[in-house]
Structure 1
Amino acid sequence: MSGNTPVENAMREKLKASLNPSHLEIINESYMHNVPKGAETHFKVVVVSDQFDNKPLLQRHRLVNKILDHELKNGVHALSINAKTPSQWQDSDRSVSPSPECRGGFGK
């Protein structure tokens, strides 16, 4: 973990503690938006957990949002969530699709 990414680090620790994921990626996509360099405002989360078994996608997203409630209320402007069960992850190509370019600002 890096000391210059406190929001990302907090998100990682909370998701690990709450979901015990078998796979976790937190991708800072802030650079794709009209924000200051080094900002931690836009993230994509890829999380694979047994806790998602028998839960529809909406419930999975709500669970992740609840875990990251503090961050979402304190500076995280956008959160893209990819929440899968271990079997869904195993059956997938295990890749993360790139996010589209920002349309709401001046870009990079």
Structure 2
Amino acid sequence: MTSMQDRIEAKLRDSLSPQALAVTDDSHLHAGHAGARPGGESHFTVEIVSSRFAGLNRVARHRLVNDALAEELTGPIHALVIRAKAPGE
């Protein structure tokens, strides 16, 4: 069984071909809060650098990430922090 972190990484690599990608499971910081699941894997931070973000504003960059993770955002992922940059930023 693939972890949610692995699924996020695979989908972002496939759709955005990042030069750098770090996905962190922050679920342990939200235990007992709304949206937290007993098994974790509900709160994540994504730090991504991709040439696909060049010339795009923050909202457009976030939309690309959200589109790539649309299936996961409908259920398993409760919260996602996105730090999206173009190379050289």
Fold agreement, TM-score > 0.5: yes
Equivalence for 2:27: 30
Equivalence for 1:74: 75
The total of aligned residue pairs comes to 84
Equivalence for 1:19: 16
- Cα distance in 2 for residues equivalent to 1:62 and 1:21: 15
Q: Displaced runs of 4+ in structure 1, greater than 4 A?
A: none
- Cα distance in 2 for residues equivalent to 1:78 and 1:40: 10
- Cα distance in 1 for residues equivalent to 2:3 and 2:26: 15
Equivalence for 1:10: 7
| Structure 2 residue runs without a partner (length 5+) | none
- Superposition RMSD on alpha carbons, in Å? 1.2
Whether 1:39 aligns to 2:36 is no
Q: Deviations 1:35-62 (Å, cap 9, x if unpaired)?
A: 42x4100000000000000111100001
In the TM superposition, what is the alpha-carbon distance from 1:75 to its structure 2 partner?
1.3
| Structure 1 residue runs without a partner (length 5+) | 89-108
Equivalence for 1:65: 66
Instruction: Determine helix, strand or coil for the equivalent of 2:77.
Output: coil
In the TM superposition, what is the alpha-carbon distance from 1:76 to its structure 2 partner?
0.4
Equivalence for 2:57: 56
Matched letter for residue 51 of structure 2: D
Q: Percent of aligned pairs with the same residue?
A: 40
